């Protein structure tokens, strides 16, 4: 199958090394401004996939992100931020990267070229039909991701993807593809730039919308967040103050007693 990799096409700019710092920054920003519009066009695809994710997680399933390089790192970031933000277990949203944890900080040569390791990484977590696996690859051609999704399909596991090329091999093997077409990168082929930004925006949308629909947000507050530092304890205390119209000292005492914003609010309301 032939398709055009817009992410690999020549940059709209040339002679970058001759540009001033101001020109470089302004031109990068000009390109970055096109990304939200590309994401907006993909909202119907994102909505369709999120509906599936919510349904699976409501039934006790999990969400897996699978990628290599920048794509894998962004998946790991989004997954790792769900527990502290929404109070879910680290086993609910799981980010896997070609080459393992070492690849989060260092490039692992040829890890993305394996056609077996992606599925092996998933099976280590006992992936099943209850789960959703989203492959992330700007090019849409990463063997580590494509082969894993093919195996997921054969096992009856729901699959989705995030890519920045139309009609890619990855889209073809995904039941619910998301294609965010950002066009050529400022530095030709450097898909950590616009494509990476698009992936981050879409991942934010998927995880945040899913967690809201699962009841992990009240009003607009992170009532289930982990109280892992003084800043978050202070934020939680102020949430309780605002919700219950009580003093900071009272709110802080409730939070320390009940260990979460939600529990503190519920206990106060039930007791009064």
Q: What CA–CA distance (Å, rounded) separates 109 from 117?
A: 14
Q: What is the DSSP string of 212-240?
A: HHTT--BTTB-TT----SHHHHHHHHHHH
Q: What is the DSSP string of 4-57?
A: --GGGSPPS---GGGS-HHHHHHHHHHHHTTHHHHHHHTHHHHHHHHHHHHHHH
Maximum CA pair distance of the chain?
A: 69
Q: What CA–CA distance (Å, rounded) separates 52 from 176?
A: 9
Instruction: Quote the distance between the C-alpha of residue 11 and its chain's center.
Output: 27
Q: Collapse the DSSP code of 136 into the 3-class scheme (helix H, G, I; strand E, B; otherwise coil) and give the result.
A: strand
Instruction: Calculate the CA dihedral of residues 28, 141, 200, 197 and round it to 10 degrees.
Output: 0
Active site residues: 81, 112
Q: What CA–CA distance (Å, rounded) separates 65 from 221?
A: 25
Closest CA to 122 of 102, 101, 151: 151
Q: What CA–CA distance (Å, rounded) separates 150 from 152?
A: 5
Q: Cβ neighbours of residue 215 under 8 Å, at least 6 residues apart? A: none
How many angstroms separate the Cα of 171 from the Cα of each of 33, 59, 174? Answer: 25, 26, 5
């Amino acid at each position: 199958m032939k398709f055009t990799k817009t992410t690999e096409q020549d940059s709209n700019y040339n002679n970058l090394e001759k540009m001033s710092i101001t020109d470089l920054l302004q031109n990068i920003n000009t390109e970055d401004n096109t990304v939200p519009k590309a994401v907006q066009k993909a909202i119907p695809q994102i909505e369709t996939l999120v509906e599936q994710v919510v349904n699976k997680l409501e039934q006790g399933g999990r969400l897996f992100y699978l990628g290599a390089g920048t794509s894998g790192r962004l998946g790991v970031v989004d997954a790792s931020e769900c527990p502290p933000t929404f109070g879910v277990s680290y086993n609910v949203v799981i980010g896997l990267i070609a080459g393992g944890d070492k690849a989060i900080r260092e490039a692992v040569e040829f890890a993305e070229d394996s056609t077996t390791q992606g599925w092996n990484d998933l099976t280590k977590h006992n992936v099943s039909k209850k789960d959703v696996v989203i492959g992330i690859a700007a090019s849409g051609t990463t063997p580590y991701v494509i082969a894993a999704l093919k195996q997921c399909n054969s096992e009856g596991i729901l699959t989705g993807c995030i890519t920045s090329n139309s009609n890619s091999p990855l889209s073809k093997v995904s039941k619910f593809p998301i294609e965010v077409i950002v066009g050529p990168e400022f530095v030709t082929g450097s898909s950590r730039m616009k494509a990476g930004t698009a992936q981050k925006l879409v991942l934010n949308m998927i995880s945040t919308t899913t967690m809201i629909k699962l009841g992990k947000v009240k009003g607009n507050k992170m009532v289930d967040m982990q109280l892992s530092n003084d800043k978050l304890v202070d934020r939680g205390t102020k949430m309780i103050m605002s919700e219950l119209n009580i003093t900071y000292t009272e709110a802080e005492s409730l939070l320390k007693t009940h260990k979460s914003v939600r529990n503190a609010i519920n206990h106060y309301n039930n007791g009064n």
